[in-house]
Amino acid sequence: MSKQQQKQVPPTPNRRVTLFVTCLADLFRPSVAFACLDLLEEAGCEVVVPTDQTCCGQPAYNSGDREAAIPLAQQVVSLLEPADYVVIPSGSCAGMIAHHYPSLLTGEWRERALEVSAKTYELTVFLQDIVGIPPRSPIKAARTSVTYHDGCAGLRELGIQNQPRQLLKNLCGVEVDELKQSEVCCGFGGTFCAKMPEISAKMVDDKLENALATGATVLTGGDLGCLMNIAGRARRQGKELEVRHVAELLADQRDIPAIGEGQ
């Protein structure tokens, strides 16, 4: 059972979901956000996308600039407060909101952050554990071999591991080819990859090597930061690997080019 599942927000018949698309999906991979819309609607949810959303403040927070992170966190808390459920296609941003906001904010804001935290879910956790997306008939078979990269925040802060694999199986008929050292970081780490690029490159090379060793043609995962890092390095190294966010696979949106691929 995931850590998020234990929070027990009783599902209401009319599930109104607020989608926080994340800044990376907004700017670099809108198809992920559209895939989320499709999936949530398929699961019978009414989806609201606040158009005032920008960034959760993670770059500032992790770089040691709380002064800059706090107003952003407050902005996000205010934005998400009216929601019944908040769904985020990123373990890292969901972890920031659900796990770190309550310790970043103080006083009344902390209380408000805790309320938002209690109804915030990463996409695959929400689909698998909370709404339980109905099985498809027939399954839209991905007809490909897939390996999965577990983002660190999702894995360790939110306990996400089984949910995306189960969804890939139920919705796409895909059994994940597990990569070795799957619990090891890909070297993204937010600003880390730009501050310490050489070390980051060694880490992402290890990840790529393990991914390619599975023989899978597609690498997927729940965090765009990791996926852009892995795809960017694969392109630079001339390695063949189709990198996509798990929402794209689940929503069967493989017609657009993979991350870092041309037309």
Q: How far is the CB of 246 from other proteins (least distance, A)?
A: 16
User: Closer CB to other proteins, residue 9 or residue 194?
Assistant: 194
- Which residues does 257 contact at the CB level (< 8 Å), separation at least 6? 263
Buried b (16+ CB within 10 A) or exposed e, 59-77: ebbbeeeeeebbebbbbbb
146-149 and 16-19 strand pairing:
unpaired
Cβ nearer to other proteins, comparing 14 with 51: 51
Q: How far is the CB of 32 from other proteins (least distance, A)?
A: 8
The CB-of-91 to other proteins minimum distance in angstroms stands at 11
Supply the minimum distance, in Å, between the C-beta of residue 141 and other proteins: 26
Residue with smaller CB distance to other proteins, 70 or 130: 70
Q: Judge whether 184 and 152 are in contact, CB under 8 Å.
A: no
CB atoms within 10 A of CB 134: 11
The DSSP string of 86-121 is: EEES-HHHHHIIIIIHHHHS-HHHHHHHHHHHHTEE
- Closest approach, Cβ 76 to other proteins, in A, equals 10
* Cα atoms found within 13 Å of the Cα of residue 9, Cβ hemisphere only: 24
**CB of 57 or CB of 222, closer to other proteins:** 57
| C-beta of 205 vs 252, nearer to other proteins | 205
Q: What pairs with residue 48 in β-bridges?
A: 18
Least Å distance between CB 95 and other proteins?
9
Complex with other proteins: residue 29 or 112, whichever CB lies closer:
29
Query: For 133, which DSSP code?
Result: P
